[in-house]
Structure 1
Amino acid sequence: MELKPTAATVKAPSSNFTGDVYLTPIHRGQLPSRMTASLVRFTPGAHTNWHRHDVGQTLHVSEGVALVGTRDGSVVHATAGQTVVCPPGEEHWHGASADAFMSHFALLEVNEDGSDPTTWLEPVGEAEYTAAQRA
């Protein structure tokens, strides 16, 4: 057993996010473990770019309302205590509503060779984000 120290919170890179987003790493497994977990905090209106994960991603909402959108225009509004599972390879985005903070735990696995499973894509359009508020 090992008690890990609390990791420092860092601001997420603006190249992959719109608005202010903060990441607190929880765990990064060492092979053979492939688990990665982070607490991600979004300020009102903040959201990710479009992206996908080779092995999928699980989002467990801990505060506020998470908006999670897919390329087909589907949007899930998940509240604290709810979990959204994004399957492998699905292009999606997630973030806070325009008027409230949102936090979620982001859980995913690195690839079998230990490489980063996330492919970052273009920003979500303002019209797409606005439409997601009403979906």
Structure 2
Amino acid sequence: MEIRRLGTLPTRKAPAKSFTGNVWQDPIIEAPEPALLKSNVVMFEPGSRTAWHTHPMGQTLYVTAGTGRIQKWDGPIQEIRAGDVIWIPPGEKHWHGAGPNTMMTHISMQEGHDGVVVEWLEHVTDEQYGA
């Protein structure tokens, strides 16, 4: 058993190569092998979002605060809000982030395959975000 105290892993700014706008991540767990789980609390400022991406083993999001947006490739933008749980199947191209005027926080949970938990793709354009 391991208890990790608050602040052991510091908040980090999400990298601009994978996110648009100001996004902050608090690591929850990067479980040691043979476990596969990786999880973060992710806080999106208004208008901020991920780039398009996929997960080899899928992803679960649990929205804890605010309202945001999510979209799968060739699908409509959908609103997400506190209390929503979203399952994204393996390999599904998608993005998620805050609403244009609201912050949004979610817990992301994903498992890795051969050490890979996410494949980052192109940025979501302002036109795609505003569609």
Q: Place the TM-score, normalised by the shorter chain, in its bin.
A: over 0.9
Q: Which residue of 1 aligns with 2:127?
A: 127
TM-score (normalizing by structure 1): 0.92
Q: Which amino acid aligns with 1:98?
A: P
- Partner residue of 1:99? 101
Q: In structure 1, what is the Cα distance between the partners aligned to 2:107 and 2:58?
A: 14
Secondary structure at 1:108's aligned position in 2?
A: strand
1:118 matched to which residue of 2? 118
Residue range with higher mean Cα deviation, 70-79 or 21-30: 70-79
Segments of 4+ in structure 1 off by > 2 A?
Answer: 73-76
RMSD, matched Cα: 0.9
Deviation at 1:5, TM superposition (A): 2.3
Summarize the alignment of residues 68-107 of structure 1 with structure 2, pairs less than 5 Å apart: 68-107=70-109
Describe how 1:1-135 pairs up with structure 2 within 5 A: 1-6=1-6, 7-111=9-113, 113=114, 115-131=115-131
Secondary structure of 2:26's aligned partner: strand
Q: Which amino acid aligns with 1:91?
A: K
Q: Percent identity?
A: 39
> Unpaired runs of 5+ in structure 2?
none
C-alpha displacement at 1:31, in angstroms?
A: 1.2
Task: Give the secondary-structure state (helix, strand or coil) at the position aligned to 1:129.
Answer: helix
Q: Secondary structure at the match of 2:70?
A: strand
Q: CA deviation at 1:72?
A: 1.1
Shift of 1:110: 1.2
**3-state SS of paired residue (1:64):** strand
Structure 1 gaps, min length 5: none
- For the 8 Å contact 2:68–2:102, the answer to whether it is kept is no
Paired residues, number:
129
